[in-house]
Amino acid sequence: MPGNDAAGLPSEAFFTPGTSSFTEFLAAHRPGLLPTTPALPGGIRMAPGAFPHGTTVLALTYRDGVLIAGDRRATMGHLIAQRDLVKVHPADDYTAVAFAGTVGLALDMVRLYQVELTHFEKIEGTPMTLAGKATRLAAMIRQNLAQAMQGLAVVPLLAGYDVTAPDGGRGRIFGFDAAGGLYEKRDFHAEGSGSPYARGALKKLYRPDLTRREAALAALQALYDAADDDSATGGPDLNRRIFPVVCVITADGFERLPEAETGDLSREMVERRTAHPDGPHATP
């Protein structure tokens, strides 16, 4: 950040009219603080498994808004690096971002994105639209392309409640690729190494009129299926009381489901799996 002058006052950069983007402000005055600054010399690629990676995250729309969830495992190659990683974070009151990929870069990018949205609202006097938030996040990912090519990719998942949309279409989900491509997803989506299995589970469980409880159970079932087939995805750990992070965004704003509620739903799901190990079948 720009520092103080000789008299101890904020530097002129703080008082110069300019962009409403905090990322662009930082790039102009302290580019070394950006998480998108290349960490390795050009042409050098990081060996697989050298840094913790996080998977799997997913989102689905439901009757009251949108739900976003993630497992808790981070891996380094074949090792479990962390069992209780939080991969889902609020971006503002009506938006949440989850991530798969290099954990350190992802957490820095999430923090920068949170400041980006707050800075825009303070400068412009109005919140950014949900489409604008998705576009701004895509631009940040595009700035990370050099690191992604070195094996340090971050692939986020954005979910939000669009207060400007007509009733019935307010829960929205946006996916991205490592080059900053932006894609709005219908109904549900998942990212990370376990995403093919999570999407397969959601495909058979999803209905647009799901209640909050039903949507949470569907998300937990999908993460369980992902963990069942993907070693990098962690299922609910009943012994350590580590459960997936499940959050909802509705007209009331962002809410992370309490640990007690997520734990009860996880135990209920595991108990059902005792009788049906492959999980519930699609509803006719």
Q: How far is CA 12 from CA 19, 49, 103, 176, in A?
A: 15, 44, 35, 37
Sign (positive or negative) of CA dihedral 39, 44, 50, 53 = positive
The dihedrals phi and psi of 49, each to the nearest 5 degrees, come to 85, 10
CA atoms within 13 A on the CB side of 214: 14
SS3 75: strand
DSSP letter at 238 equals T
Q: Is 65 helix (H, G, I), strand (E, B) or coil?
A: strand
Q: Are 125 and 12 in contact (CB under 8 A)?
A: no
Using DSSP's 3-state secondary structure scheme, residue 161 falls into: strand
Q: Give me the catalytic one of 55, 61, 233, 262.
A: 55
What is the Cα–Cα distance from 67 to 208, expressed in whole angstroms? 12
Residue type, 189: H
Q: Is 55 a catalytic residue?
A: yes
3-state class (DSSP) for residue 190? strand
Q: How far, in whole angstroms, is CA 93 from its chain's centroid? A: 15
CA 135-170-217 angle, to 5 degrees, is 105
Please provide residue 175's backbone torsions phi and psi, each rounded to the nearest 5 degrees.
-110, 160
Q: List the catalytic residues.
A: 55
